[in-house]
Structures are given as C-alpha cells and as structure tokens.
Chains A and B, each alone.
Chain A
C-alpha cells in the first residue's frame, strides 16, 4: 500500500438547508456530514459503515462532486477538487466513478447497454471503434455476454444490471470508485458474485474503492480499512481486522453484535441498539452517541469526544473506549 493517498478528505462538513414549512420562512440546518477526514490509498478498499442516515452516502456524493461540501477540502492526487471549474471537473471525472445502490434506477431505461457503458468513454474519446472494443472488453470483465450489448436494461436481472453499472464505472479505467451500497439491493447469492467481481477488478486494476455500506459483513469481506460513521461523524477508523476483532467505540461494538451471521462466535451476547438515531437537524450536545450508549457518563453529555489514535492505525472518538482486545465480550 502506497504512503501517498489518492484521495484525502479534510474536515468535510455538509449542511442542508431545510424549510420547516412553506408558510413560515423559518429555515433549519441539517448537518449530514460533520468534520470528516479520511484518506484512501491506491489499490485499497476503505469501507464506510453506519446506519442509514448517518451521512455516509452524502460523503460519497461530495467526493463525486454531486454536491459541494459546505466546509473542508477534498484532495484528489493532492489537488482540491471542491473548487474546480466545470472543465477541470470533467478531467477529474475520468479518475473517479461511482457504482450505485439501485441497479434499477441507475440505468437509463431508454438506452441500450452498449450506450450506457460507452457513455463515459464517449465523453473522453471520439474513436468509435476503440470505444466499441472497450465496451466489449469491460462486458467480458464483468461477465456479461457481448451479445447483450443491444438490449435494454429492463431485460436484465438485478445482478446483471449491477454488472452493467460496474462495467460503466470501470470503462474509463478510473483510479477510484465510490461504491454506494453497491450490493445492498441484491440477493445474497448475487451479492457474493458482485463482491468477488469487485475484488477481482481491484486486483487487476489496482483501483481504489470507497465502499459505503450499512452491511458490516459485506464491508468486512471487501475492505482493507473501515471507517464507522455515526450522525455525520467518523467515530472509529481502523484496519478491517482491528475494527472487527477489537472495536474501540461502543457504537461499533453494538453494530458488530447485531450481525446475525452464524460464523461469529459471539452469539448470545448480542446487544441491540435501543432508541433511534437522533435527528441530525438538532443533534444532542456532547458525544452524539450518548443517548444510546450504555456506558454513558456525565462528561459524554457535555463534551464531544475527538478522534484519538488509541492504537497504531486505530482511531476512535469516545471518552471511554473499550480497552480490552476482546472488545465486545468485555463490554458486556
């Protein structure tokens, strides 16, 4: 793994203005992403997990400049891409791509598969035959019969559609792909195929992946490092192994304990997260997690913990992080 990050997210905050009602002029602010800093290195997969509404998708969208961050910088190859002109932005588009969650709405129903995959290529090249060659090439990579090139999306299954989406994403040989819940909408068996396909592609192209998911199992399978988000903040960041085997943040512990998978040896000690995620419109003071944390102390209600390096390459934002290597079991 190279020491120079391909993507550096620096203190990114994203606010949305919300009108409470059409009748009163009152505006409210929703802070979807709150002071997030992350690095992604070439060839690695950074997993981002969290419950829905934690801001992970918004983070992904800011990286792709589908929405501009309110504060902070996003550096790609060391260049801030949040301040680019339309033209400069287009150049960056060659390097960053996205794979969406919903394979149904992410493909234009009026376009043939061939045209869908060719679209990014056409934006950067006018060599028709080269484009056609590349389309066939990526269709092979994603294991779609080339004969399907002239079909429309509605003629495909969900897994096949997701392959089309992946083919589109990798067609221009990006260096970073944001996978936003890329397999969540698929059946479990299909999920595995797609994940393997992504792994394979990464192995061959050294593309960096920012893998956003609420599914810890999937994240673990694919990621080298994992960031846990809660209420717009990163509350824990560590290597896949460290995070899953030795979570420091009570929230992470809770998430892990909720995994219903059979191969985890911690059955019987499952902890459920009680209560709802607090509204990001009116976040609680202090630690964002304190309302649902069973280890909550007075200080948690007042002071917001910062992300601390608790071990090498392991950060967590908690006043009372888990100390034992055994993590969850001890937390009980």
Chain B
C-alpha cells in the first residue's frame, strides 16, 4: 500500500504542475468560445476563421464595421482614388498607438504589405488582396523586399498603385502590424508580443485551453471597459452552450449543430443575438462532369426540386431563410427584389421529361458530395432528387481538405457548398465563385457576358453604378440556372444579461471593445 500512497502523491504533484495558477475569476473579463485553437495569432500567416475571431480584437485595417455591418473608416481616415483609377492615396488616422506604444503610420502599412508578400513568411489570406499592387509579383518571387507600388508620402499619407483597377481595395480587411516588433522581439514574436492597434493586446495562448487578450488602455477609440477577453477553446458546440448555461462563459457563438438546442429552450430567449451569415450557399452542378447538367431544363428541375422552406424549418429550425440569389443580405450590392425560386416538383418532373428523362429514366448515377458536418443536407438532397425526380443520387461524405482540392480542380460534379464574404461587398461572391477565371469557381459555370460585367465592376468606383452591374451579372447567372441558391443560415449567439455592448454582424462578432460586464 505504501507504493500506492507514493504514487498518489506523485500524481497529485504532477497534477499540481499541470494546473495553471488556480483560475481566479475576474469579474471584468469577458469569456467566450472558439471551437479550436487558432492556427496562428499573427496577421501575416493569418488564414483561417478562428484566428480571425481572435485577431479582429487585436489588429485593425483601413476600415472597420459598424454594428449594422456597414463599412466605416478605421485606421484610414479617408482615401482618394488616383486620377487614372489605378490606385489610392490614403490619409491615415493620427494619434493611433500600437500596443508597444509606438505610433502607427504609413511605414507600418507598407511594412505589413511587404511582409505578406515575402515568400518565406507564408503570407496568408490577406496576401491575396495585394495581387493588383504594382511590384507585388517581384516581392513574391523573392527578387526584392521593397513593394514598388506602395509609397510612404509622409508619416500619415500612403500611396498605393495598381496594375489594374481595384476599386474595393480600401475595404479589404487588412491587419496592420507594428513595423518595429521583429526588431524588439525577434522573428518568433507572435506568441510573445502584441503588434496591433486594436482594443485588446495579445496576452497568452495556452494551447488547447484558451487565448487571452488584455485591454489596451491607449486604444484610439477609447479604452475598453473590460479588463480582457478570454477565448476558451471548446470544440463541442454543445459543451460550449452547457458551459454558458453553467455560467462558465459570458458569450457564446453557437455552432450550427447546437442552434436547435438554443432555439428550443425558452430560458435563452432574451439572451439571444441573431444575424444572417454573410455566406452564400448553393448547389454546384458541374456541366463538364455530368452530361445531363448541360441541359438548362435539368438544372432548373434540380433547383426547383427541393424545398427551401422545408429545409429552413426542418433542418435548421427556422434559423435560416431561403436564398434566391448569390449575394446575401447585409452585403453591399444585395438585390432584395429577386423573385423567389419555388419548390415545384410537378414542374421539375415535367422539365426533366422534356429533357428526355421522364421520371429520371436514363439519368446516369451521380453522387452528391459534402463533408461530415453537412451530412444532413446531402442526405436531404439525395433523398429529394431520387424520390421526387427519380434521379439516381447517392450520398458521398468526404474529407474536407481533399474535397476542397477536388472542387478547386473542378473535379466534383454535384455538391452543396458555401462561400463566406471576406469583406462586405457583393463583388466578393460574384468575382470569386462565379467569375470564369476564378480558382474558386468550383462548378466551372462560365459566361462571357457575366465575366465582362464583373471586370467592369472592378473598375467602377461609383457604388450605385457598380451595384447595378452586380445585379445584372447575378441575373445572368440565375437565368441560366448556373447555380441553385439554397439558404442563408442565421448566426446565433448567446450573451448573458450582465454583458452589454456585444454585437453580432453578418461577419461574426464585432471586436469586443465596446463590451461591458456588470456584476
């Protein structure tokens, strides 16, 4: 038994080692959830959603969003397009301090752009926004580290020049970083220091447990009213809601599988925030891979062959609404006047018969493909198309990484997928998902008139005129049944009654700078 006692003692001491200094509850700390560790916490390699949730609180770009999801100036006070339309001159905000205490200025913007492009740095999502900048390719190729198209005019004035028109450049969600940080903390500064201008400073990242931010007192928009934000890493959405229920989280971003639980429980009624996600969803039909898709009647039959309203009620418990176009509400350029796409199985059958496939006879077998989390959706589609249209559809669940690769390579014939907006403008959806040359045109729908309109829009600085072009292009896409828009999901979040100032926009939470936790 002595050995047992010793072992127990050993265990206890080992346990003590792994426990961080007892979790002292800080009244003024906001606790919320992320469903995995962020893959990174630096603005250069930044390339995923979860890291974005954290970093939006630490870093800022030219613009930000207001509580309605509208673009508002942030680190850029104003900008003027160059006369030839190929570039902008930015007037930066004065009096902005980095977390290090250094002042923010034009040199930091240039530095950030260069860091994003230098090959060894593995520039992430934000690097893509620099493709049109003059000299970007040279930096990317490693020929120089000086980005030719970006000029520091004076401390707070920056000139950016493009190789081709890019009217949306000012609203791209860059994260500008402190040019002095590497000198101060070395190349691996990212987990040791905080290099942003946002309302919170990066404090600590305990892998598998949490990411901690602390309030930045010198924030240009005013010091946050809370001491900090703790993002607890909670992979299970269900657990997160339970933790919220037990008072272990103040704010929860509810994952789609758990939305039902939240909606059905009356106790959450007054604590719920909702906002449509800025994510289009569609059913991709690749005409190159499945002969019948070449017939517009078959495409229409598919698009009217499933019941969006039933999906909203049955699959999503009402936390969604039907989508009739390829731009989501809350995103600039959204057309609210698009006609509804009906669920009309009779007409769908008729169209299919006209196309030469009465009751689905003669249709070759096909698989509808998606990843595990969306298995209910494809099970519904497969069931619907086989029972309503007689189409021999099978369900195929695949691994995400290889699925995306195959979709990008245009190798998946039939798939429901989504695309989340990186910035609040319809061009994001239209130019990335349906523009012919785009890598992300995964169903390989192609239309010259559509492509021409998109190119024209990219050079149209006037917003109204640009939106008209969007609407025109979108109509071409829809009239051709090039895609089946499906639904827009609602985002659901829970916020404890003692927490104020948390806003959910189509682009997830706003930074928690205005949040307040009262006792």
| A/B touching: CB–CB < 8 A | no
